[in-house]
Amino acid sequence: MSEKIKKIWNKFRFFRSLRARIFIIVFLVGIIPGIILRYGILENYEDRAVSVRTSDMQNQLNIIANHLITYNYLADTSSEVISAELEQLSNLYDGRVMIINSSLKVIKDTYGTSEGKTVITEAVIKCMKDGIGGSNYDNEYGYIEITTPIIETAVAETAAGNEGPSGMGKKQDVVRGVMLTSVSTDSINVTLDILSRRALLLEVLMLIAIFAIALILSGVLMKPFERVAKAISEVKEGYRDEPISVPDYLETEHIVDAFNQLQNRMRVLDTSRQEFVANVSHELKTPITSVKVLADSLLAQENVPAELYKEFMLDIAEEIEREDKIINDLLSMVKMDKAVAMMNISVVDVNALTEIVLKRLRPISRKRDIEVVFESKRAVTAEADEVKLTLIITNLVENAIKYNKEQGWVKVLLDADHQFFTLEIMDSGIGIPEESLEHIYERFYRVDKSHSREIGGTGLGLAITRNAVLMHRGSIRVSSTVGEGTVFTVKIPLNYIAS
């Protein structure tokens, strides 16, 4: 089902483009007010024209109604004046006037067809009863029907004793009949037709103009985004390398900024990759070169005594061991780089683990007569990757021993609060100069290259250590005084926080 929808949606891909949307919005915003205005004005015109026509007619009819009373037309329809007035009115307004007397009989019809007939319509009866005229517009057949009461104001005979002091009777309106008039609204409709045709023509012209404007506008508004896409693809294809700039809109500026930052980051990554490859090649080459020099010098001599062979072979074996160490360090670093998903978390007894590591390192500390002390404030168990935690402790304690003085000391302190455990590795060693502190975690960085090489350093140990700490979402800090010693502090959460 969703596949089907996707297929249909793909067919309308066009509508997913911002350009199409801008076009549609501009087009609709342009055209809708025109349409509303047209219907509004035409409708209004019709209402207004009908009401003007109705009130005109009503005025005229009221005058005639008065004349009908004056000429006593209801009793005698022979009045020429009235006939002429009625004729004129019906000609002028293309209408028909019927005069109906109080017994609902038509006494005059300007069409002459209904005279003598009885008219019983709601409007007529109502008008006759209330003495109030009314009108009704029939939109479908195009006419207005008007009822006008024919009212005679008579002085009523009032009951005796009720006469006023002036002796005058009370004036009273008596409905003597009704004029039923229908007027055609053809002329209004003709005007309406003309107006609506003109409006349509204007609308079509407007439609064409708005279509063109929407097309141009959507194109112009989208231009900067096209420029962004072009600039990015130029970078992608390698035609340009410098930062791109499309400052037309804030939006394009943001996109371009983000892209430039990404490009910068890639550049930095690329540089560090190149540096790394160069460093690795150099580090791997050094022992090989030494091996070659040793072997060549043996080969160049004749009758070399066996002791010399042995001595050179020992050197060669040392270099090979060094090469092996570098390769091992590189491998553990690559493994560490791969993914946090590689974490193998278990509950680790940190006290026991530290003891094991220290025991393993005892031969090298003994060799240099360095005292290694372990102090634990409490028993600590934590969720951690045992192999990586071993690497962290080993590297830091090994460094503390390696970069120490003869007969120095190394102290390992373990403590924990409810959230973290802290390992402090202190030594009485040579210390790290201030300016080197920010570099010691870089791959292959060594404060004193020749010294580090002498004691078998690869410059990868702290890079690996820091990675392992970060993978546990922990932190590592260092403080050091040259000639006095160094303190590394590692803080790791007791409960592993998966990302």
* Binding-site ranges for ligand ADP (CB under 6 A): 395, 399-400, 403, 427, 429-432, 440, 445-448, 452, 457-463, 486
Q: Which is nearer to ligand ADP, 296 or 454 (CB)?
A: 454
Report the nearest approach of ligand ADP to the CB of residue 376 (Å). Answer: 20
Q: Which is nearer to ligand ADP, 143 or 403 (CB)?
A: 403
Q: Which is nearer to ligand ADP, 55 or 328 (CB)?
A: 328
Rounded to the nearest 5°, which phi and psi values hold at 407? 60, 30
Report the nearest approach of ligand ADP to the CB of residue 245 (Å). Answer: 41
Measured CA to CA, the distance from residue 78 to residue 98 in angstroms comes to 15
Please, are residues 110 and 97 in contact by the beta-carbon 8 Å criterion? yes
Angle in degrees, 0-180, between the axes of helices 186-237 and 250-300, rounded to the nearest 10: 10
Report the nearest approach of ligand ADP to the CB of residue 423 (Å). Answer: 14
* Residue nearest ligand ADP, CB atom distance: 457
Q: Which of the 8 DSSP states describes residue 174?
A: E
Among the listed residues 217, 210, 248, 212, the one whose alpha carbon sits nearest the alpha carbon of residue 231? 248
Give 99's strand partners. 108, 179
Please, are residues 487 and 423 in contact by the beta-carbon 8 Å criterion? no
118 three-state secondary structure = strand
Report the nearest approach of ligand ADP to the CB of residue 400 (Å). Answer: 5
Rounded to the nearest 5°, which phi and psi values hold at 206? -65, -40
Q: Which is nearer to ligand ADP, 211 or 445 (CB)?
A: 445
Please, are residues 488 and 438 in contact by the beta-carbon 8 Å criterion? no
Q: Which is nearer to ligand ADP, 70 or 481 (CB)?
A: 481
Among the listed residues 114, 107, 179, the one whose alpha carbon sits nearest the alpha carbon of residue 150? 179
Report the nearest approach of ligand ADP to the CB of residue 392 (Å). Answer: 11
Q: Which is nearer to ligand ADP, 20 or 455 (CB)?
A: 455
Report the nearest approach of ligand ADP to the CB of residue 433 (Å). Answer: 9
Report the nearest approach of ligand ADP to the CB of residue 341 (Å). Answer: 25
Amino acid at residue number 310: K
Amino acid at residue number 322: R
Q: Which is nearer to ligand ADP, 177 or 429 (CB)?
A: 429
Q: Which is nearer to ligand ADP, 148 or 458 (CB)?
A: 458
Report the nearest approach of ligand ADP to the CB of residue 277 (Å). Answer: 18
Measured CA to CA, the distance from residue 115 to residue 99 in angstroms comes to 9
Q: Which is nearer to ligand ADP, 143 or 444 (CB)?
A: 444
Measured CA to CA, the distance from residue 464 to residue 325 in angstroms comes to 13
Q: Which is nearer to ligand ADP, 100 or 430 (CB)?
A: 430
Please, are residues 177 and 161 in contact by the beta-carbon 8 Å criterion? no
373 three-state secondary structure = strand
Measured CA to CA, the distance from residue 74 to residue 108 in angstroms comes to 9
Among the listed residues 194, 186, 195, 96, the one whose alpha carbon sits nearest the alpha carbon of residue 139? 186
Residues 6+ apart with CB under 8 A from 196: 38, 42
Report the nearest approach of ligand ADP to the CB of residue 326 (Å). Answer: 9
- Distance, C-alpha 267 to centroid of its chain: 30
Report the nearest approach of ligand ADP to the CB of residue 273 (Å). Answer: 19
Residue with tokens 């509508």: 15
Q: Which is nearer to ligand ADP, 181 or 486 (CB)?
A: 486
Please, are residues 489 and 422 in contact by the beta-carbon 8 Å criterion? yes
Structure tokens at 439: 């570099």
Task: Give the total residue count for the chain.
Answer: 499
